[in-house]
């Protein structure tokens, strides 16, 4: 990736070098900035801690602060920097005197060792400890993987010992999970090897972030709510098509025990020592793509203003943030910031990655249709929108002016942001405007569709109003399944669209702002515990594969025993 604006003197250190040089404060000092007593922090070393459940329970009567969502245009290989901007904006708000906090998702090992290489921000806008955050962190994902797979084992064990619940082993819908990209596990056969190992059947693996257990943890308000959600998950069906729930297998109690510590949000800090909650991590292309309700609500009860992010572009992450997370948690966002780069807009305008270094105002103007579409969509939720232009060193003045003009024509102010190279000082103008808008009460938030709308109509509404599709198609069996779920009392649930993140369509190569395309729905899944219906569109996979050259090839320990290649 081309470098962003760097300090004039010398080479800009790498992200990992900057993170290692950070002047971190003891985590108790970071908690004290938000009024968290030291005894309510459960330290994992000196620089990270979980916030104790007992303390969280005391916050319910406190008023919430202001909530800012950071989202982005559709991602490209050129990079957008949504997490970097989220971190920079939080630091910028602290710089102007606000009691600020940041809420982002935890990193999944799958993309870190696949394509992404890290998820803690970049440059001088990072959350630390960066290496731990991008690896095992506090073990939350391992706990989710264990709880999910415990339930899978209990299903097979129940069938082995007589199947008193009458589970139809052809209709087991609970797959296993692993927090790693592994295409070979998408479809597998289990229980081979004879009678002692059970009855062979076809199943498969999803990546841990796609697990309904992850969604339950991220949407739960407390341990009791978590156990209720886990128990309500549908794991299989009987021959009469009646559902079998996790609670029927008596698995919900043990799963909650495994997740007891994982539900407590993780507190860390930025390079500028701004408090940051890093908790939960569903992908927005296959799940709801937001950090946990527990973390966001905790931050809102403790801070004046909270900056959070939603995964991938606004067509996925922001839509699910508004229609699923805000609906479920009773949140009302005050401001939305859409991140864009000149380079990414040039790619949306048809420029090949190898040619991004050359000035091309016409391509920026063409690609800005993608930005304008996202601005229009987000404004449709009744939330004021600002545009953050994440600056790269090769951006020309004319290209930046073209982005500013396009944002203005779409009804959003644009701010050139240099937080990657300058930290909070480089994003202060945007921070001041965000704070002003948040305090103005200008937002009049409303979800895209009402609870009472039919499930198929909700899918069509998202596809036509957000993706600008001309039609939505599905086999009759899919529509019949949705109708059956409505009859069973699930019609009020929101819809979670699983779709490529690279385009408004289901074709990842179709950039810009396409319209009139077809959205094919090839499968629907009921996440009864999480509280939404998943519509899987196009060729999207819930278990990703590694790229031709995975990031894992360059991640290693150097001679000093320190990690290199993780960025």
Neighbours of 140 (CB within 10 A): 26
Among 2.60.40.2300, 3.40.50.300, 3.40.50.11540, 2.40.110.10, name the CATH number for the domain at 15-138+262-440.
Answer: 3.40.50.300
Cα–Cα nearest to 268, from 60, 87, 81, 57? 87
Helices (H), 285-360: 293-302, 319-320, 327-329, 342-348
DSSP string, 419-461: HHHHGGGGGHHHHHHHHHHHHHT------SS-TTS-HHHHHHH
Cα(448)–Cα(380) distance, integer angstroms: 8
Q: In what side-by-side order are the strands of the sheet with 234-238?
A: 167-172, 234-238, 243-245
Distance, in Å, from the CA atom of 305 to the CA atom of 51, rounded to the nearest integer, reads 19
Residue whose token pair is 């229009």: 376
Catalytic hit among 116, 238, 433, 525: 116
Q: Are 31 and 275 in contact (CB under 8 A)?
A: yes
Return the sign of the alpha-carbon dihedral for residues 116, 118, 123, 126: positive
Give me the catalytic one of 82, 325, 346, 418.
82
Q: Using DSSP, state whether 16 is helix, strand or coil.
A: helix
Question: Does 143 participate in catalysis according to the annotation?
Answer: no
The secondary structure of 181-238 as a DSSP string is --GGGSSEEES-SSGGG---EEE-EEEGGG-HHHHHHHH-SSHHHHHHHHHT-EEEEE
Which architecture, in CATH terms, is 140-258?
2-Layer Sandwich (3.30)
Say which of 113, 245, 420, 504 is annotated catalytic: 420
Structure tokens at 339: 């991140």
373 is catalytic: no
Calpha distance 181→206 (Å, rounded): 9
Q: Are 285 and 316 in contact (CB under 8 A)?
A: yes
Q: What is the largest CA-CA distance in the chain?
A: 72
* Burial class for 368, CB neighbours closer than 10 Å (0-12, 13-18, 19+): buried
3-state secondary structure 111-177: HHCCCCCCCCEECCEEEECHHHHHCCCCCHHHHHHHHHHHHHHHHHHHHHCCCCCCEEEEEECCCEE
24, 105, 418, 499: which one is catalytic?
A: 105
Is residue 84 part of the annotated active site? The answer reads: yes
Please pick, among 113, 174, 277, 312, the residue that the annotation labels catalytic.
312
- Does the domain at 455-537 match CATH 3.10.410.10? Answer given as yes
The pLDDT profile of the chain, 567 residues, written as one tens digit per residue, is 344 544 445 567 888 888 888 899 999 999 999 999 999 999 999 999 999 999 999 999 999 999 999 999 999 988 789 999 999 999 999 999 999 999 999 999 988 888 765 678 899 999 999 888 889 999 999 999 999 999 999 999 999 999 999 999 999 999 999 999 999 999 999 999 999 999 999 999 999 999 999 999 999 999 999 999 999 999 999 999 999 999 999 999 999 999 999 999 999 999 999 999 999 988 878 888 899 999 999 999 999 999 999 989 999 999 999 999 999 999 999 999 999 999 999 999 999 999 999 999 999 999 999 999 999 999 999 999 999 999 998 999 999 999 999 999 999 999 999 999 999 999 999 999 999 999 999 999 999 999 999 999 999 999 999 999 999 999 999 999 999 999 999 999 999 999 999 999 999 999 999 999 999 999 999 999 999 999 999 998 889 999 999 989 988 898 988 888 876
Measured distance CA(84)–CA(106) in Å, rounded: 14
Q: Please confirm whether the linkage preceding 480 is cis (ω < 30° from 0).
A: no
Nearest partner of 325 among 58, 69, 57, 110, judged by Cα: 69
**From 141, 322, 392, 504, active-site residue:** 392
Q: Tell me whether strands 201-203 and 167-172 are parallel, antiparallel or unpaired.
A: unpaired
Assess contact for 305 and 60: CB atoms under 8 A: no
- Told to judge if 116 belongs to the known catalytic residues of this protein, a careful annotator would answer yes
Three-class SS state of 104: strand
Task: Say what the pTM is.
Answer: 0.94
Query: What's the sign of the alpha-carbon dihedral 47, 32, 334, 390?
Result: negative
Burial state string for 74-112 with b = 16 or more CB within 10 A and e = fewer than 16:
bbbebbbbbbbbbbbbbbbbbbeebbbbbbbbbbbbbbb
Contact indicator for 377, 335 with CB cutoff of 8 Å: no
105 included as an active-site residue: yes
Catalytic residue among 49, 120, 284, 414: 284
Domain limits, the chain: 15-138+262-440, 140-258, 455-537
Residue 283: active-site member: no
Instruction: Give yes or no for a contact between 214 and 282, defined as CB atoms under 8 angstroms apart.
Output: yes
Can you give the pLDDT at residue 541?
Answer: 86
């Amino acid at each position: 990736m081309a470098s962003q604006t760097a300090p004039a003197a010398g080479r800009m250190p790498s992200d990992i070098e900057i993170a290692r040089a950070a002047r971190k404060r003891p985590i108790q000092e970071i908690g004290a900035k938000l009024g968290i007593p030291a005894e309510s922090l459960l330290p994992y070393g000196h620089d990270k801690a979980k916030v104790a459940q007992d303390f969280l329970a005391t916050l319910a009567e406190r008023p919430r602060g202001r909530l800012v969502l950071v989202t982005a245009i559709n991602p490209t290989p050129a990079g957008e920097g949504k997490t970097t901007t989220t971190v920079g904006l939080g630091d910028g708000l602290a710089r102007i005197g606000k009691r600020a906090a940041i809420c982002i998702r935890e990193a999944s090992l799958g993309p870190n060792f696949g394509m992404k290489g890290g998820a803690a921000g970049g440059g001088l806008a990072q959350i630390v400890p960066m290496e731990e955050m991008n690896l095992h962190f506090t073990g939350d994902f391992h706990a989710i993987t264990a709880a999910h797979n415990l339930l899978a084992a209990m299903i097979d064990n129940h069938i082995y010992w007589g199947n008193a619940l009458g589970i139809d082993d052809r209709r087991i819908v609970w797959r296993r999970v692993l927090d790693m990209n592994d295409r070979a596990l998408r479809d597998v056969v289990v229980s081979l090897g004879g009678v002692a190992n059970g009855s062979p059947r076809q199943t498969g693996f999803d990546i841990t972030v796609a697990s309904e257990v992850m969604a339950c943890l991220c949407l739960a308000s407390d341990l009791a709510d978590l156990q209720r959600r886990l128990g309500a998950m549908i794991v299989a069906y009987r021959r009469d098509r009646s559902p079998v729930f996790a609670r029927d297998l008596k698995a919900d109690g043990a799963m909650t025990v495994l997740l007891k510590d994982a539900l407590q949000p993780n507190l860390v800090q930025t390079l500028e020592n701004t408090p940051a909650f890093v908790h939960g991590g569903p992908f927005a292309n296959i799940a709801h793509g937001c950090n946990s309700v527990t973390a966001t609500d905790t931050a809102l009860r403790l801070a004046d203003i909270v900056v959070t992010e939603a995964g991938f572009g606004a067509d996925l992450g922001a839509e699910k943030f508004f229609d699923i997370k805000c609906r479920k948690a009773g949140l009302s966002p005050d401001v939305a910031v859409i991140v864009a780069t000149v380079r990414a807009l040039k790619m949306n305008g048809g420029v090949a990655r190898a040619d991004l270094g050359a000035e091309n105002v016409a391509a920026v103007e063409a690609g800005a249709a993608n930005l304008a579409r996202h601005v229009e969509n987000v404004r449709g939720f009744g939330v004021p929108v600002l545009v953050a232009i994440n600056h790269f060193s090769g951006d020309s003045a004319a290209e930046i002016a073209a982005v500013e003009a396009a944002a203005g024509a779409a009804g959003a102010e644009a701010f050139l942001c240099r937080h990657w190279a300058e930290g909070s000082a480089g994003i202060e103008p945007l921070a001041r405007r965000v704070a002003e808008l948040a305090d103005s009460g200008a937002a009049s938030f409303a979800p895209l569709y009402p609870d009472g709308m039919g499930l198929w109509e909700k899918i069509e509404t998202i596809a036509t109003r957000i993706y600008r599709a001309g039609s939505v198609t599905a086999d009759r069996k899919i529509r019949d399944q949705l109708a059956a779920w409505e009859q069973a009392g699930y019609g009020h649930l929101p819809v979670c669209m699983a779709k490529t993140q690279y385009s408004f369509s289901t074709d990842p190569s179709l950039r810009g702002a396409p319209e009139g395309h077809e959205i094919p729905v090839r499968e629907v899944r009921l996440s009864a515990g999480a509280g939404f219906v998943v519509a899987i569109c196009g060729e999207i996979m819930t278990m990703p594969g590694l790229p031709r050259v995975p990031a894992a090839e360059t991640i290693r320990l150097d001679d000093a025993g320190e990690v290199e290649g993780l960025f």
